[in-house]
Amino acid sequence: MGQSAKHGIQWWQILLIVVGVLGIGIFVLCTTTGIAAIIIASKIFSPPLTPYPQGEPVREPPPVATVDVQMLRLSLDDYPRVDGSTSAQPLAVLVACKALGVSHRWGTKLDGSRWMEPYTTTVAMGPAVGWISGHVVHNGTHESYVNLIEGRTDLVLVARAPSPDEEQLAQAAGVILDVRPVAVDAFIFLLHQDNPLDGLTLDQIRAIYAGQIVNWQEVGGPDAKINAYQRNPNSGSQELMLDLVMQGTALAPARSEMIGMSMTGPYNQMHSDPQGIAYSIYYYKEQMAPQANVKVCAVDGVAPTREHIADRSYPLSAEVYVVVRRDLPAGSSARVLRDWLLSAEGQAVVEESGYVPVR
């Protein structure tokens, strides 16, 4: 009996085997569950682009005549903090990625809009990708101007010149803004794809938003009420609307549900409203906007196309600006980046991003 106990399997060995089998089972279960969770999360947080409405051509990525940047001498240690308009985010990220040697691609947000994003293809890119994600952040036109004036950012890329409110804020802070055109864009109007109209005159649009024209029949459309959507005060789109279209004529008051609070707002509002009209930015609509049942509206008989924006035949062209504080030292990284954006090489990258270059 003592011999059998000596050579047989001991109780603690059996316990070890059981524990080992259970451990392997738990590991396999957790791994499988983890993989499943990752797959599900990837489906939720990385949704595909919203399908195009039937009959609308599929949008291709921006033209990519890839520019090999040679003249921009900035490193991770001295690259400026960059802010700006939502619509200028792809340009800012593209420039930073090229300057810092990081890969870039178009990504899709939960709301269906597209953004330029840095990503790693090598371990060495990791720090730069993290820095770009944290310091090249576009908070919107008005907030970016405020951040520049108050010293929280070094350079902004914006879809409009500073508003009177922003100029007053700069003056109160003793700051002079150096504002220079870097690209050409356009202010556009959106109609639902089921609207039989393809264009309006500028006077008709102004009258619609002043509340003087309230039915589509008055401009050659169906007998239906016009739902004129607006944007929030001080947004880039709203300031362009006041400057380029209203030109001193007061906007009719709008209910809160008729005001889009972000760049995606007009597209969400117009998606299921055949009676609607809204406004946006050409670059955002062509390259970044979530797909909706909308079409662009010709103004005074001219459609907003890249060609008509470049030759300025479209009546509502609008510059994109690069802005720094004038009190920056001559050799500061923000000035270096600004001057490079205006150079031949910088303008080639502006065109690569999908914008019409200013020169």
Would you list the DSSP string of 162-203?
A: PPHHHHHHHHHTT--EEEEEEEEEEEEEEEETT-S--EE-HH
* In-domain check, residue 63: no
In the prediction, which pLDDT does 257 show?
94
Residues 287, 114 contacting (CB under 8 angstroms): yes
Distance CA 181, CA 321 (A): 4
Nearest CA to 116 out of 72, 61, 160, 70 is that of 61
Q: Are residues 218 and 172 both part of a single domain?
A: no
Residues 287, 185 contacting (CB under 8 angstroms): no
Angle between helix axes 89-100 and 126-135 (nearest 10 degrees) is 150
Q: Are residues 191 and 174 both part of a single domain?
A: no
* In-domain check, residue 39: no
* In-domain check, residue 18: no
Where are the alpha helices (H) located in the chain, listed in sequence order? 2-7, 11-45, 89-100, 126-135, 141-149, 164-172, 202-209, 236-240, 265-270, 282-283, 306-310, 333-341, 344-352
Q: Are residues 165 and 196 both part of a single domain?
A: no
Distance in angstroms between the alpha carbons of the first and the last residue of the chain: 99
Q: Are residues 231 and 190 both part of a single domain?
A: yes
Q: Which domain holds residue 243?
A: 185-310
Distance CA 141, CA 167 (A): 13
Q: Are residues 193 and 305 both part of a single domain?
A: yes
Chain centre to alpha carbon of residue 100: 21
**Which structure tokens are listed for 221?**
């459309």
The CA angle 335-88-180, to the nearest 5 degrees, is: 40
In the prediction, which pLDDT does 225 show?
98
Distance CA 72, CA 91 (A): 15
- How many structural domains comprise the chain? 2
* In-domain check, residue 62: no
Nearest CA to 270 out of 301, 254, 292, 298 is that of 292
Nearest CA to 241 out of 142, 160, 173, 166 is that of 160
Q: Digits of tens for pLDDT over the chain (359 positions)?
A: 444 444 556 666 666 666 666 666 565 555 544 544 433 333 333 333 333 333 334 345 444 556 767 778 899 999 999 999 999 999 999 999 999 999 999 998 888 899 999 998 888 899 999 999 999 999 999 999 999 999 999 999 999 999 999 999 999 999 999 999 999 999 999 999 999 999 999 999 999 999 999 999 999 999 999 999 999 999 999 999 999 999 999 999 999 999 999 999 999 999 999 999 999 999 999 999 987 799 999 999 999 999 999 999 999 999 999 999 999 998 899 999 999 999 999 999 999 999 999 98
In the prediction, which pLDDT does 341 show?
97
Q: Are residues 263 and 209 both part of a single domain?
A: yes
**Which structure tokens are listed for 5?**
């106990």
Q: Are residues 237 and 198 both part of a single domain?
A: yes
* In-domain check, residue 349: yes
CATH of the domain at 331: 3.40.190.10
Distance CA 156, CA 334 (A): 9
Distance CA 81, CA 328 (A): 13
Q: Are residues 194 and 272 both part of a single domain?
A: yes
In the prediction, which pLDDT does 176 show?
98
Q: Are residues 173 and 98 both part of a single domain?
A: yes
Residues 74, 99 contacting (CB under 8 angstroms): yes
Q: Are residues 291 and 345 both part of a single domain?
A: no
Q: Are residues 232 and 344 both part of a single domain?
A: no
Residue 91 φ then ψ, to 5°: -65, -45
**Which structure tokens are listed for 249?**
């004529």
* In-domain check, residue 50: no
Q: Are residues 135 and 204 both part of a single domain?
A: no
* In-domain check, residue 56: no
Distance CA 108, CA 134 (A): 18
* In-domain check, residue 122: yes
